[in-house]
Amino acid sequence: ERASGVSEDESEKTRLLDDLVAAYDDAKEEEAQKAALQKKSLEDSEQVGHIIREEAMLSLGKRKKARDDEGSGRGGNSKVVRMMAMMHEQVKADMEFQRIKHANEMEERQKDRELFAQQIRHQQESMTALINLLVNKS
């Protein structure tokens, strides 16, 4: 027992509870940051896709107008088909990347939850040992 009249065991208990609260707060904050980062990444990817599509459509419109002005009936459709195919492949690649990224993040979150659960179990065991020590002292 310390000079203040508070037992050392009570301080240990308080420290363990404070550590538990801090670990929980840190985990929640980290999860919120990951969610915000994922949302921003998805928004950025969508924005780039919109820009590429707009540029392609503008370019396509200019080419079509130039072709119509020339009166040429040549097969420019193959260029359009190739452009659309390239855009489709880009979208598919972006979606696959997002799918893999999401799967990796889910796996990482699962590992974080398991680690957090293990830490909580350890702290609960410590608390149980502390309580048993207090009960046995009485």
pLDDT in tens, 46-89: 888 888 888 888 877 776 676 666 655 455 578 888 888 898 99
SS3 for 4? Answer: coil
**For the purposes of burial, counting CB atoms within 10 Å of the CB of 16, is it exposed (0-12), middle (13-18) or buried (19 or more)?**
middle
pLDDT of residue 115: 95
pLDDT in tens, 95-121: 999 999 999 999 999 999 999 999 999
Contacts of 101 (CB under 8 A, 6+ apart): 38, 41
pLDDT of residue 124: 94
Whether 1 has a pLDDT exceeding 70, the answer reads no
